Structures are given as structure tokens and as C-alpha cells.
Structure 1
Amino acid sequence: MFKKLLKWSSEQHSHLPWRENRSLYLTLVSEIMLQQTTVQTVVNHIDRFLKKYPTLKSLAQSNEEEVCIAWKGLGYYRRARNLLSAAQDIQLNYGGKIPTDIDTLKSIKGIGDYTANAIIGIGAGKRALAVDANLERVIARIYAIDIEKGVKLQKEIYKRFYNGEILKELTDNNSRELNEAFMDLGRVICQARKADCVLCPVKRSCLSFKEGLVESIPKVVEKKKVKHELKLLRIIVKKKGNILGYIKSEKEWLQGQIEVPTFVISSTDELLTQYPALPKNFKNDLFRDALGFKSTITKYKIDNLVYEISESEFKKYFKSIKNFEFFKNDSEKVNFSTVSLKALSKIK
């Protein structure tokens, strides 16, 4: 049933760096990177990361700040912290050897259902199904599983798989290749908004294609998205080559990263607590010539204004605000947030 799919995947996508010289460690790193990130973005960054951390032991001996710096460009830094936690747990409790059974893997801090199945099915090449968003969509369409996209659908796919109702063709002999082929198919041809069924190598076996259900499977319930407008002032204070900033806490966006002093000028979200309000004594006309740029995060469209002042001016206007300190202006050694680096680039 899947011979054409395997041939297509091998011819088109076998060059991806994490598919060459496959190992359990490379699978752990690449699969966590690939969550919520495009393949091309991971291609652009994985070699640099592996050069710094070529082994699980070298990663386990690092710290959160260094790992997040090496992760720059990949976004969603919680994944970097999860990867570090997993490496440290494996190094400490399993002698640096990555387990290959599902229950043990899922007990490791930083490894969830998907990553555990990916390590087994792709890294170890044992029979397992790594159900990411692509596999969820592809499998649902092939077998016309008409269930709402999300946890319920994933559970149904796993249930049918382990009960032997679907994917009987997936064995220890082809688990790695078939999981990767499904991922390729979902990424390139069987996309969420556009399925190119004419080019699909499995269309003759696809029940959704035969029954004209491709556009309605998986079932998607549209949730109303609330967008908020947020205007921030990002202040640059320099001192002997150092930059004033603060470390983001666990309850804040971009946890653990360094951000320049940031204040809310205006917001359509009255419940926003991520940044303090701009002090009233710091009037708008003081930064009327501020440079700006746009950014987004979660449900916020952000208008960022960037303004440079001296240390004495900062103390004058923001004397009641604590927890700021000076950091070396070196993005290779200091984990500045991407938006802070962009703000710094606006100041000549």
C-alpha cells in the first residue's frame, strides 16, 4: 500500500541532515526542534547546535542560558529547556543512554508522547507511530477518520494502530522510513489548507480521496481568535559597552531570556501583566522621535518604540523599578531576546 510513498519520500527528502547518520541523540534533538518549527528553519540551525553539543553528555553538562543562546532562531524556547531537562535526566539516571521503551521515555522530564514515539519509531526503528500534526492529518484522511482535530483524534489513531485496525504495513523493518514518509506527505502534499491529491502517491488507497472528504477531514472547529493591540516602549541604556536589562521570570513571555527595560504605553487588553505601565512622569513628548518596529507574540500585535537614554535619566524616571542590571553587549554569550536584539539594532 505504501511502496510508492516510501519511494517518493526517499527520492525527495532523504537529504535532510537529521536523516543522515541517524542516532537516538540526533533524533531527540531534531524531533524537539521540529515541533512548531518549519523544516527549513531547523535545517538552517541544527548543524550549529550540534557543533556546540555533539553528544548528549555535552548537552547535559550545559546550562539553560547557554542552551537558549545556541537555540536562537528556532523560537519557542520552552522546547530548548525541555531538551536540556531530558538530556540531564538521561545522563543522570540512565548512564547517558537513551531508553527505547515507551513508558521509560515518557517518564523522562522533557519528553512527551510524540517525542517518545519518535525516538522509538524513527530513532530506534522499532514499530511505533509518531503522531505529530502532519501524521494526524495524513492518517485521518487515508482512513477517513471523521473526528475533530486534536487530542481525541490522536487517541483514536493510536487506539486503531495498536489494535491492529490500521497501518498493519508498519513494522520494525520500515518504521523509520514510513513515519518520515508520512511527515513528508503532510508537509508537502497533504497540507491542512491545500491537499494536492493529483500528485499524492497514496491517493488510490486514500478513503477520503475516494469519498470526496479530503477538505472536511480532519474535522476542524474554528475557534474565535482574539487579537489585541499593544504599544510598548523599549528603553536602551548603555554603560561601558554593557546594556541594561532584566531576566524574564517563569511567569513571563520568553522565560530566562534577557530583555531591555520595556513599558506599556497602551494596550487593548486590560488584563495584561507582562510589562509595567509607563510612569506618568515619562511623558510622550520625551520619546516622540523614537524609532520603531512591529512584532507579534501569542494574541498580541505589538508596536515597539525604541528610545535611548542615559543611566542617570533612567534612574530619574524609573527610580521605583528594580531588578535591572547591566549585561555585556554580546549576543553570543548573553541570552538577549530576539526583540531586544532588534531594538538594539535600531540604535546606532
Structure 2
Amino acid sequence: MFKKLLEWSKDAYIDLPWRRDRTVYKTLVSEIMLQQTTVGTVQNHFERFLKIYPDVHALSKTSEEEICVAWKGLGYYRRARNLRKAAIDIVENYDGKIPGNYEDLITITGVGEYTANAILSIGQNKNALAIDANIERVVSRIYGIQGKKGPKLQKLLKKKFEEGEFREINKCGGREINEALMDLGRIYCQARSANCLGCPVKKKCIAGNAKDPLEYPEIPVKKIAKTYELELLRIIVNENNSILGYKKSDDEWLAGQVECPTFILKSEDKNLMQYPHLDKKLSYKKLKKYKTAITKYKITNYILELSTQEFKDRFSGKFRKYKLTDKLNISTATTKALAKLS
């Protein structure tokens, strides 16, 4: 079935930095980066990150703060910390060699089912199907399986595909078919549009020959998430190239990052516990401000600039001075506040 797809893929091959001079380590790094982040964003950061951490040994020796600084711009910093833990696992338990079987891979911190299959198929060219959103959609349409997107559908697609198509493509391995399906999903078989006329597998695609290919797979109706307006006070104490702040704990937003003293001025969500409420009256509406957002909160940030003594006289809390260097893992909100003042 996929002979034409593989032929098309050779001509339409998308050149990406993690596809050049392949190593299994590059696959591990790129797949963790690509979780919840667009290809374009990862392209802008991948090679820079690899210069800092060229192999699993270098990655295992870094600190949490250092890897989060190197991760800046990619967001979702928990992935960076998990990638570091994965490197430590691989060095300590597998002599620095990324395993070549699913059972071992799935035990490594930060490596879930998809990433394990991606390492096997894309990184090691073994017969496995790494079902991301593109492949889930494409394979569902090819076979005309109209189940709801999610784990049950993915399990069904994986079983059907591996029982049938991998028998036909043993000669080329899993890498070509996985990347061909991913590229097909990006170019022709998109979530909101399907260019079936140009598709190389149209003749045997059940959804492509149906009335509306966009009906495959069934997309669960999402409940409209409630959003909350939130007003925060960001206090900047910046003296002698040092900033007053605190390190976010594991149960807080942006764990591990350094943030300036922050207080809740006004919140529609009365249960929000991420910051302390300001316990004194403050005329803040004329302060400089900027907008941010995180999870379900739309945030207006007001900036109050104080000297060290002024802060001590008016506020309390467990804060310390941090030297402003390139290695400081400072939160984006704090960076924006500093930029706004300058």
C-alpha cells in the first residue's frame, strides 16, 4: 500500500536538523522538545542546545538550573528536567547507551510510549509506529477507522498497522514509513483540511474516497475551559546587577525558575494559591504593566520598582539576591518586567 508514499516521501522530504547526521541521542532530544512545541520553534533551538550538550554524558552532568537556561524559548520546563533525568538514567543504568528495546526504554524517566517508539523507529530504524497527532490522523483516515482520538484509537491503529504494513516494508525499516506518514500529515492530510487530489495514497485511502475525510478520526467535543482574570504585582529590586527573587518550588508554575517577588492584587479564582495575596492597600493602576497568560489565567502584571531598603520597609517574605548572569534561570515574567522598566 505504501510504495507510492515512500516514493513521494523521497521527493518531498522535509529537511530538519535532527534528521541530519542522525544519532539516537538526537532523536531522544528532538522528540522531547517536540512534545507540545511546534516544529518551527524547535528548529530555532535544537542546534544551539546540541552545541551545549552534544551527547548523553554531557547532559547527565549538567544541573537542573543550567539545562533550564539552555531550554529557554521552548517552554514547559518540566521536559528539560525530565530529559536531564533520562540522561542520568541512561548513563547510570545502561553505560551511556540508549537502549534498543521498548521494555528498557519505557522505564527511563521522561520516556513514555510515544517517545520509546520514536527512538526505536526513527532513531534506530526498527519496526515500530510512533503515533503522534499526524500519524494518528493519517492512519485513521487510510483505514477508515472513525473512533475517537486518544489512547484506545492509537492502540487499535498500531495493532492494525504492525500486523499488516510492516510485513511489506521490512526492507526499508520503520524510520522511512514513520517520517513519510508525519510529512504526509503536515503537507496533505491536515487536521482541518485534506488535499486528497495530491495525496500519494488516495486510491487506497478509505477516508479519501468517502464523502468527508475530515470526519476521520472523530474529535471529542472539548468543553470550553473557563478562564480567569488575574492581576499581579511584580516587584523589581535591581541593584548592583543583582535582582531580588526566589526559586519556584516543584508544585508551583515554572518550577525551578527564579522569579521576582510577586503578589496577587485581584483574582477571579478565589482558590488560586500560586502567590500570596497583597495584605495592604496599594494604588497600582498607574504603574507600568504588561500582559501574560498561563494555563487558564489571563494576567495583567503591574510593576513596582523599589530599592532594597524600600522593599524591606514595606514587604516581607523569603527572598534573596541573585546575580543577573546568562546562567540564571530567570522566569519570563521577570524578564519582561525588567525589559519594561529599561
CA contact (8 A) 2:137 2:185 kept: yes
> Per-residue deviation at 1:232?
1.3
CA–CA distance in 2 between the matches of 1:310 and 1:5?
64
Number of aligned positions between the proteins? 341
Name the counterpart of 2:320.
325
Give the conservation status (yes or no) of the 8 Å contact 2:14–2:183. Answer: no
* Residue 14 of structure 1, CA deviation: 4.0
Cα displacement string for residues 86-135 of structure 1 (whole angstroms, at most 9, x for unaligned residues): 11100011100111100010011221101110010011101000011111
Matched, 1:306 2:303: yes
Residues 218-263 of structure 1: per-residue CA shift (max 9 Å, x gap): 1112222211111111111112110111111111111111111111
Structure 2's unaligned 5+ residue stretches are: none
Q: How far is the alpha carbon of 1:266 from its aligned partner?
A: 1.4
Superposed CA offset, 1:183-226 (max 9, x none) = 12222322222223233222222111112242211111222221
Q: Secondary structure in 1 aligned to 2:341?
A: coil
**Which digits, 9 at most, give the CA deviation of each residue in 1:57-80, with x for residues without a partner?**
111111111111111111111111
- 1:181 and 1:266 mapped to 2: Cα distance? 50
Q: Distance in 2 between matches of 1:197 and 1:226?
A: 37
User: Contact conserved, 2:65 with 2:256, CA < 8 A, in 1?
Assistant: yes
* Superposed counterparts of 1:207-226, under 5 Å: 207-224=206-223, 225-226=225-226
Q: Deviations over 1:2-22 (max 9, x none)?
A: 233333333333421111111
Aligned to 1:26: 26
Q: What aligned pairs does 1:13-52 form with structure 2 within 5 A after superposition?
A: 13-52=13-52
Aligned to 2:150: 150
Aligned in 2, Cα 1:8/1:342: closer, same or farther, shift over 3 Å?
farther
Q: Which AA in structure 1 matches 2:13?
A: H
Which residue of structure 2 aligns with residue 117 of structure 1?
117
Change (3 A) 1:10 1:69: farther
Q: In the alignment, is the contact (CA less than 8 A) between 1:144 and 1:213 conserved in 2?
A: no
Distance change (3 Å), C-alpha of 1:327 and 1:9: farther
| Equivalence map 1:102-141=2 (5 Å) | 102-141=102-141
**For the residues of structure 2 that align with 1:4 and 1:304, how far apart are their CA atoms?**
54
Listed as ranges, the gaps of 5+ residues in structure 1 are: none
Pairing of 1:290-305 with structure 2 (within 5 A): 290-305=287-302
Match of 1:63 in 2: 63
CA distance in 2, matches of 1:314, 1:131: 52
- SS of the equivalent of 1:232 reads strand
Rounded Cα–Cα distance in structure 1 between residues aligned with 2:226 and 2:313: 37
Give secondary structure in 2 for the equivalent of 1:208: coil
Q: Deviations over 1:150-208 (max 9, x none)?
A: 1111122223234x145543436231011111112222322222223233222222111
Whether contact under 8 Å (2:142, 2:207) holds in the other structure is: yes
- For the 8 Å contact 1:127–1:172, the answer to whether it is kept is no
Q: Which residue of 2 aligns with 1:189?
A: 188
Return the match for 2:286 from 276, 279, 289: 289
Q: Which residue of 2 aligns with 1:342?
A: 336
| Counterpart contact for 2:303–2:337, Cα < 8 Å | yes
In the alignment, the residues of structure 1 paired with residue 227 and residue 165 of structure 2 have an alpha-carbon distance, to the nearest angstrom, of 40
SS at match of 1:6: helix
C-alpha contact 2:127 2:166 (8 A) present in aligned 1: no
Aligned to 1:87: 87
Q: Percent identity?
A: 53
Residues 93 and 230 from structure 1, CA distance in 2 versus in 1: closer, same or farther, beyond 3 angstroms? same
CA drift at 1:300: 1.4
- Give the aligned CA root-mean-square deviation in angstroms: 1.6
Hey, what does 1:240 align to over in structure 2? 240
Inter-partner Cα distance in structure 2 for 1:38 and 1:188: 15
Change (3 A) 1:169 1:265: farther
Q: CA deviation at 1:307?
A: 2.1
Of residues 193-202 and 290-299 in structure 1, the stretch that sits farther from structure 2 once superposed is: 193-202
- Of 195-204 and 24-33, more deviation after overlay is shown by 195-204
SS of equivalent residue, structure 2 residue 106:
helix
Distance in 2, Cα, partners of 1:291 & 1:3: 60
Between the aligned partners of 1:85 and 1:73, the Cα distance in structure 2 is: 20
1:177 paired residue number: 176
Comparing 209-218 with 47-56, greater Cα deviation is found at 209-218
Q: Which moved more, 1:116-125 or 1:165-174?
A: 165-174
- Partner in structure 1 of residue 201 of structure 2: 202
Scaled by the length of structure 1, the TM-score of the pair is 0.93
The DSSP-based 3-state class of the residue aligned with 2:194 is coil
d(CA) in 2 for partners of 1:258, 1:51: 25
Amino acid at match of 2:99: P
Check the 8 A contact 2:288/2:340 in 1, yes or no.
Answer: yes
Tell whether the 8 Å contact from 1:144 to 1:208 is kept in structure 2 after alignment: yes
